[in-house]
Structure 1
């Protein structure tokens, strides 16, 4: 019993440490769960103040749901605002029938798609711990409640699925098959994972489907190494058909005030 108590004390110390380390990330948080390890936030659409989304952050999932990144905010805004959506996607049937988000984290773009009426939204990220996925489900439920969507409706439209890029895609495709729209926010900063992400993307897209990739230059590697993703994408039959660049004062996810690191680059790839 002494060992169990020691383990609990150590876990409690770790939890308090994480709360302290990520305290700046929860500024403006609305609420926290019972353990204080999942925080509730409200994101208000910059261009339309009456539109807002609730999202949650999981402190014990660093890099996978502990922060909201600029590119996720930018993609969500381009999904909701019609004029921005047309600038990014052009003339497409809206809303898409089926969407998959890779490396979702706080899953803001997926929440925006649910609001827009997308028939099926698959929210995926690498499994780190249960908390990260609990936070996503809390976000889905909170917004569904605000929008008057029943649990039956939301369960039929939304799936939260653990997925490591380049591995089994069966759970992503499900019974309805491949997706019309894929989204990846701040997923290409590490060139080591480019090929795996593209393998998952090409395996889950319909012909003519679109893949929206949002990224910033984090400084961990050279910009050319990040941009090599798009050269590799051509080998997979994915071609960039449109792109937008969005300026920012700094990068929320890495706590940087450097505008060059906060700028978001959005690229739309089409499966040929």
Structure 2
């Protein structure tokens, strides 16, 4: 575990424009001489929500860019996003060649309806299914006929320390044998950074290999918050793969 490993990027390659609660994500990938299948994704955010679904977090922005640059993780494959909120990372993979994408969040009507709206608004409703799901609960509702997922997306979820085991339990039971989990996050509360990182210790203990793949700086989400600004401005990206065990 090397916290300074991975890729360093800065705010110079910013690709998000905020317009009230309708952020527009611009594709960060250019293929010389090859037309891109899409250039922008617009997401609607719920106006206000106690589960923080009314923000588009820096981790989602960083993860969306990372996914654009790593299509081999999902092209032609099945993808699950847990705690999706507006669903930006899941929408990116849906528009970039994933076979099937399932967006999930807490089974609250506002959140689930908003995910469905964003899928339809961006022309990927035929690829995307939306589900209300509580981490750690039976996984049968997540996929038809028990299909496994080649990629599972966790964007800014591990700040919820009491749910680490539930998140890993779900991932263990639905990840494909050669699949992986991408975990992107920021230490929003710097004094609790070690508790955030306990997720990866628990993952290793339950049969996952953990590799850091990205570090990226942004402007802080909430400049007025307490704690070191550099810590609150940094997104970390990790990739988890199964090395032993697994759910039945």
Task: Write the distance in 2 (CA, Å) between the matches of 1:204 and 1:96.
Answer: 17
Pick the structure with more helix per residue.
Answer: 1
Output the TM-score relative to the length of structure 2: 0.80
Task: Write the distance in 1 (CA, Å) between the matches of 2:205 and 2:145.
Answer: 28
1:264 aligns to what?
A: 235
Count residues in correspondence. Answer: 218
Output the TM-score relative to the length of structure 1: 0.73
1:134 aligns to what?
A: 113
Asked whether the 8 Å contact 2:74–2:151 carries over to 1, the reply is: no
Instruction: Select the structure of larger CA radius of gyration.
Output: 1
After TM superposition, give the deviation of residue 65 of structure 1 in Å: 2.0
Aligned residue among 37, 41, 63 for 2:23:
41
Asked whether the 8 Å contact 1:64–1:104 carries over to 2, the reply is: no
Q: Give the superposed CA RMSD.
A: 2.4
In the TM superposition, what whole-angstrom CA distance separates every residue of 1:174-210 from its partner, at most 9, and x where no partner exists?
2261100000000001211100110111111011211
Correspondence 1:1-272 to 2 at 5 A: 28-29=19-20, 39-45=21-27, 51-80=39-68, 82=69, 85=70, 92=72, 94-128=74-108, 130-144=109-123, 154-155=125-126, 157-175=127-145, 177-219=147-189, 222-251=192-221, 254=222, 258-272=229-243
Asked whether the 8 Å contact 2:190–2:232 carries over to 1, the reply is: no
After TM superposition, give the deviation of residue 242 of structure 1 in Å: 3.9
Task: Write the distance in 2 (CA, Å) between the matches of 1:27 and 1:93.
Answer: 28
